[in-house]
Structure 1
Amino acid sequence: MSYDLAVWEGARPAGDVAAGRLFREMCDRYIGTEGEHAPTDGIARYVAALLERWPDLTEDEDDISPWSTGPLINEASGPLIYFPVRYSMAEEASAYAADVAASMGLVCYDPQARRLR
């Protein structure tokens, strides 16, 4: 079981409902396009910042990574990254991921709770 987060570039939506609509639109445009959209520089920097804290799953020899997929950058498409976090580490990792996103001017959305982070 995993916990998913979405992070994207752009203006912060006015509220949770608007964020949910934008998230669905971005998923329709960017998810499942298999390499059609390279990660933007901002999203690539975001992933690099996350990997400074915890290793990529593909390089995790000590089973400390909260990421449920690897390489993590493969979950990025254009200005969006939609990625799973191990449920057992979801609270800590999602809080960190949201803080990093905010510090970089990115939007962080929790699709399970249907709310902005």
Structure 2
Amino acid sequence: MSYDLAVWDGDRPLDNRAASSMYDELYERYLESDDVVVPPAPRIVAYVEALVARYPDAVDRSAVWASPPVIDEASGPIVYLLMSYSKAEEVSEYAAALAREHGLVCFDPQGECLRP
């Protein structure tokens, strides 16, 4: 079981509904299709590097990430973070704060809401 967040580079949507629509578009375009491989955008790479500096994406019993390496879940302007549910509260708070520091949008697809 995992808790997921999507982080992307772009203007912050005005509300949760607009964010949900933007997430759906980005997910379909960059993450759902295996046909086209798009390298992660530089700001997404920098974000993931900062994130895994604090929470390494090694595979072990205390693993934070449900699908390491994290950078493999990035394409173009978006990264989809799959966190182990047991670590989700701590890691998602940090991931959202770090996204804000990097000027990125953080969205919770389960709750269909922007993370502050």
Name the TM-score, length of structure 1 as normaliser: 0.92
Which digits, 9 at most, give the CA deviation of each residue in 1:63-104, with x for residues without a partner? 333111111100001000012100111100000000000000
Which letter maps to 1:47?
A: V
Partner of residue 30, structure 2? 30
Partner of residue 112, structure 1? 110
What is the CA–CA distance in structure 1 between the aligned matches of 2:63 and 2:98, rounded to whole Å? 16
Structure 1 stretches of 4+ with a deviation exceeding 2 A read: 32-35
Partner of residue 65, structure 2? 67
Which letter maps to 2:83?
A: V
What is the CA–CA distance in structure 2 between the aligned matches of 1:17 and 1:89, rounded to whole Å? 27
Partner of residue 56, structure 2? 55
The CA RMSD measured in Å over matched residues stands at 1.2
Which digits, 9 at most, give the CA deviation of each residue in 1:28-61, with x for residues without a partner? 11013346100010000010001111111xx345
CA contact (8 A) 1:54 1:64 kept: no
Which letter maps to 2:2?
A: S
* Mean CA deviation greater in 27-36 or 69-78: 27-36
Name the TM-score, length of structure 2 as normaliser: 0.93
Which letter maps to 1:45?
A: A
1:6-17 aligned at under 5 Å gives the runs 6-17=6-17
What is the CA–CA distance in structure 2 between the aligned matches of 1:41 and 1:16, rounded to whole Å? 26
Residue 24 of structure 1 and its aligned partner are, at CA, apart by 0.3
SS state at 1:68 partner: coil
